[in-house]
Copies of this chain bind each other. A is one copy, B any other.
Amino acid sequence: MLFKGKEISIDEKIISSIRSLGIDMIHEAESGHPGIVLGAAPILYRLYAKHLKVNPKDPNWLDRDRFVLSAGHGSALLYATLFLAGYNIKLGDLKAFRQLNSKTPGHPEYGVTPGVDLSTGPLGQGIAASVGMAIGEEYLRNYFIKEGKPILNHYTYVFCGDGDLMEGISYEAISLAGTLKLNKLIMIYDSNQICLDGEVDQTMTENIPGRFHAMNWNVLIVEDGEDLNAFDMAIEKAKLSIDKPNLIIVNTVIGKYSKLQGTNKVHGKPLSDDDIYTIKEKMGVRGIPFVVSGDAAQSFQEMISQRVNPIYEEYQKIKETFNDSLKQKLERLEEKNTVLEDLKVSYEKPDTGSEEIRITGEKILNFLAKRNPFLIGGSADVASSTKTYLEDLKDFSFQNRLGRNIRFGVREHAMGAILNGLSLSGLRPFGSTFLAFSDYLKPAIRMAALQNLPVTYIFTHDTFKLGEDGPTHQPIEQLISLRAIPNLEVIRPADANEVIGTYKYVMAKREGPSAVILGKNQSQIQETTSIKDVQKGAYIVKKERKNLGAVLISSGEELQIAIEAAKKLEGKGYDIRVISMPSIELYQKQPMKYKESLLPLGVKTFVIEASSSYSWYEFVYNRKYLITIDQFGKSGKRDELEREFSFDIESVVKQIEDLLK
Contacts and interface: CB of A to CB of B under 8 A. Distances in A.
A612 interface: yes
A121 B379 contact: no
B196 A641 contact: no
Given A175-B206, A203-B176, A468-B32, A487 B632 contact: yes
Interface in A186-242: 195-198, 201-211, 213-216
B166 A411 contact: yes
Contact of A107 (B172, B483, B635): B635
A440 B168 CA distance: 9
A266 B577 CA distance: 47
B468 A31 contact: yes
Contacts of A211: 211, 214-215
A178 interface: yes
A284 interface: no
Given A107-B469, A214-B214, A486-B632, A172 B167 contact: yes
B480 A106 contact: no
A437 interface: yes
Interface string A134-172: 000000000000000000000000000011101111111
A197 B384 contact: yes
A530 B18 CA distance: 52
Contacts of A167: 168, 172, 410-412, 440
B472 A107 contact: yes
A482 B407 CA distance: 31
Interface in A476-526: 476-477, 480-481, 483-487
A413 B476 CA distance: 20
Nearest to A641: B100
A164 B440 CA distance: 13
B98 A473 contact: no
A3 interface: no
Given A410-B167, A612-B484, A99 B382 contact: no
A618 interface: yes
B469 A106 contact: yes
Contact of A472 (B122, B169, B195, B414): B122
Contacts of A414: 168
Interface string A517-557: 00000000000000000000000000000000000000000
A100 B471 CA distance: 11
Interface stretch (A309-317, A343-351, A442-450, A652-660): A442-450
A411 B124 CA distance: 10
Given A439-B446, A468-B32, A105 B197 contact: no
A644 B100 contact: yes
Contacts of A411: 166-168, 203
Copies of this chain present in the complex amount to 2
Nearest to A444: B439
A618 B100 CA distance: 33
A206 B196 contact: no
B636 A101 contact: yes
Contacts of A335: none
Contacts of A634: 100-101, 105
A408 interface: yes
Interface string A171-188: 110011011000000000
A640 B100 contact: yes
B382 A197 contact: yes
Contacts of A216: 205-207
A354 interface: no
A87 interface: no
A102 interface: yes
A477 B486 contact: yes
Contacts of A119: 472
A195 B470 contact: no
Contacts of A407: 197-198, 202-203
Nearest to A267: B384
A486 B636 contact: no
Contacts of A481: 442, 477, 480-481, 484
B31 A413 contact: no
Given A166-B175, A439-B443, A635-B99, A384 B470 contact: no
A455 B383 CA distance: 34
A569 interface: no
A440 B443 contact: yes
A617 interface: yes
A245 interface: no
A480 B485 CA distance: 10
Interface string A612-625: 10110110001100
Interface of A: 29, 31-32, 72, 98-102, 105-107, 109, 119-124, 162-164, 166-172, 175-176, 178-179, 195-198, 201-211, 213-216, 264, 379, 381-385, 395, 397, 407-414, 436-437, 439-440, 442-443, 446-447, 449-450, 467-473, 476-477, 480-481, 483-487, 612, 614-615, 617-618, 622-623, 630-632, 634-637, 640-641, 644
Minimum-distance CB pairs A-B, first 7: A168-B168, A121-B472, A100-B636, A210-B214, A203-B409, A105-B635, A477-B484
Given A107-B472, A196-B384, A197-B383, 7 more contacts: A99-B636, A102-B635, A105-B635, A106-B473, A167-B411, A168-B414, A179-B204
5 contacts: A109-B635, A121-B472, A122-B440, A163-B410, A171-B171
